[in-house]
Amino acid sequence: MSFRNDAAPHAWSTRLLNADKDMDEDLGVSPPLHQSVNYAVLSQDHLDDISEPLGSHYYTRRGNPTSARLVKVIADLEGAETGMAFASGMGAIATTLMAFLKGGDHVVAQKNHYIGITEMIDRILPDYGVEATRVDQRSATAFEAAIRPNTKMIVLESPSNPLMHITDLKAVCDIARARGIITLCDNTFATPINQRPIEFGVDIVMHSVTKYIGGHHDLLAGCIVSSHALVEKVWNLSMVTGAIAAPFNSWLALRGIRTLELRVRQQNGNALAIAQRLETHPAVKQVFYPGLSSAAQHALAAKQMSGFGGLFTFDLKGGHDAGQSFMKKLRLARHASSLGGVSSTLVQPAILFGGRLTSKLVEEQGITPGLIRFAAGIENTEDLVADIEQALV
């Protein structure tokens, strides 16, 4: 089933429920879970047919019907041709980087990334002879200046973790495309409901499905979506690395994605309402949320996003101790490292990142002792605001 790629935002709910209808194999309104690892071969012709890359039904490491359904819905939302499901977001990013990079290559990335991507770029890739330069994502010219003759990929994330900085996706992709450089963008925080990087020229879009797409704090998965040619290259490597999604996790994610638009709409509204209240609160030094009209990059965010997401950060004047006190007093949001589910969660990045990143990297990413990263869930807006206000007393 196909839909217009320029569908208005109000059409997303319909697309989420119908993008995979042409894959129906029975009359169940809810798609079946294909838990089988092996699939019966009926003939040589049948073997040739089911052994094709990208969605083959021969052996689950090569492809699985349930995972194929999930990927089809995500690819439809992102405006991509196809994709792949992985065991985690890091499984998706690591396999993709390995598929396109080799010793002697160079990568341009951002100073602010999800912690796992930062570690991959700064610690893992150099061990395999891949050099990396990280730049301030708020400057498109910084990306251009960092490009070398051996630059093969630019890695993006917008909004970024944890300070919600925005990358000018079109400007950077124009620079990359003119030089034949592949662009890879982590769109986890925005979700395809709020932002579709392929529309701005991004080649490969990656998601930690664990977060907003799954949406219920109960699964681990990742995915990439792109053109058939690029995804097939990643698929070929995945046959060796094996970091593919478990069918049950794909089934849970497929269930979760059906309500993505409804959940994201509420999370967008909750984040904006809380950020606006915190902006004027005497205990708060600064709020980082691109949806605020006062945000330095608000105009750019509004240009490339239809919503600003459920994640924001704020810096408490009282520093580390104020952050600890705030989290202990909350009654609704839970202290938890992940995000994107129906329940609000929060962390103190200086503690979370401090154990994994060097002090230099923590400082470079602007992580202060009093910084709080808050991921709004789908709770009632007034209840969340009231709970935060009582915790700041």
- Which residue numbers are catalytic? 61, 114, 186, 211
Tell me which amino acid residue 306 is.
S
Q: Which residues pair with 38 in a beta bridge?
A: 59
Residue 192 CB contacts under 8 Å (≥ 6 apart), including other chains: 74, 77, 78
What distance in Å separates the CA atoms of residue 157 and residue 206, rounded to the nearest whole number?
9
Q: Which residues pair with 84 in a beta bridge?
A: 224
> Under a CB-based contact definition with an 8 Å cutoff, are residues 69 and 28 in contact?
no
What distance in Å separates the CA atoms of residue 170 and residue 161, rounded to the nearest whole number?
20
What distance in Å separates the CA atoms of residue 264 and residue 269, rounded to the nearest whole number?
8
